[in-house]
Amino acid sequence: MPADAEQGTAILHLHGGWFNWGTAAAYRNLVGHIAARAQTAAFVPDYRLAPENPFPAGMRDAEACYRGLVALGFRAIALSGDSAGGNLALVLLSLLASTSSSGGMVPTAAVALSPVTDLTLRGSSIETRAAADPYFTRSQVEGLVRAYLGDTDPHDPLASPLFGNLRGLPPVRIHVGDEEILLEDSRRYIARAVEASVDAKLDVWLGMPHGFVGSVGSLSAADQSLDAVGTFLREQLRTTDR
């Protein structure tokens, strides 16, 4: 937590890894940069992973972490997440905005970095960006999604935030690379959010691959993206915490 962190505010960040891998420790550098720019505390949980703990284990862990932060007395909490963690952040956002499970406090805002929003894998960029994306292939992703969902319908809003109720959500920002197979996941989610009258905006970074923000400090696009993310979160947290 930065020394000048705003008291009473925090970011809950859900890490990536296609629901099957990843640790909080591996994302300390990325989340540390976000927290420093937002001038607040950040918490990165080690949520349960597939295949040992398939859907909805990770999502329920994220929900429990949010309720825990509320119980600790944080007055304003923003959600963030990258890749599969972006999925969990957006699912959690809709869940908390539409039920009383938030402990009476809805997240102040959400940022998703290259999120997975549609586990039906029907976004056109899965094909159109296949040659450009150096990280994933369709067959690989299909296997990871099967390990996570099991027999769950991928249209379930708790699995795919694209199909959730987006009305009444707090402000949302998404950053994604132009060369990602997940590009259309971001575009379609933002289009639905705007249609639902949400303050939602998309930043598409030309020539950038999946996870480019992880190169903060060595890639100017990553620095610029996280600067924008930090400014947005700082402003939203301060406004809510007044």
Q: Dihedral of the CA atoms 40, 208, 201, 156 (nearest 10)? A: -90
How wide is the angle at C-alpha 173 spanned by C-alphas 77 and 103, nearest 5°? 25
Residue recorded with tokens 């959690």: 92
- Annotation says 13 is catalytic: no
The question of whether 180 is a catalytic residue gets the answer yes
Catalytic residue chosen out of the listed positions 180, 184, 186, 225: 180
Determine which one of 63, 80, 83, 160 is catalytic.
83
Active site residue: 13, 15, 175, 210, which one?
Answer: 210
Looking up tokens 């008291």 gives: 7
Element housing 67 (H / E): helix 57-71
**Three-state SS at 110:** strand
Residue with tokens 């989340």, as numbered in its chain: 31
DSSP H or E stretch at residue 112? strand 110-113
**83 in catalytic set:** yes
Residue 45 carries which DSSP code? -
Q: Please choose, from the candidates 180, 218, 235, 234, the residue with its C-alpha nearest in 3D space to the C-alpha of residue 202.
A: 180
Q: Which residues are catalytic?
A: 83, 180, 210
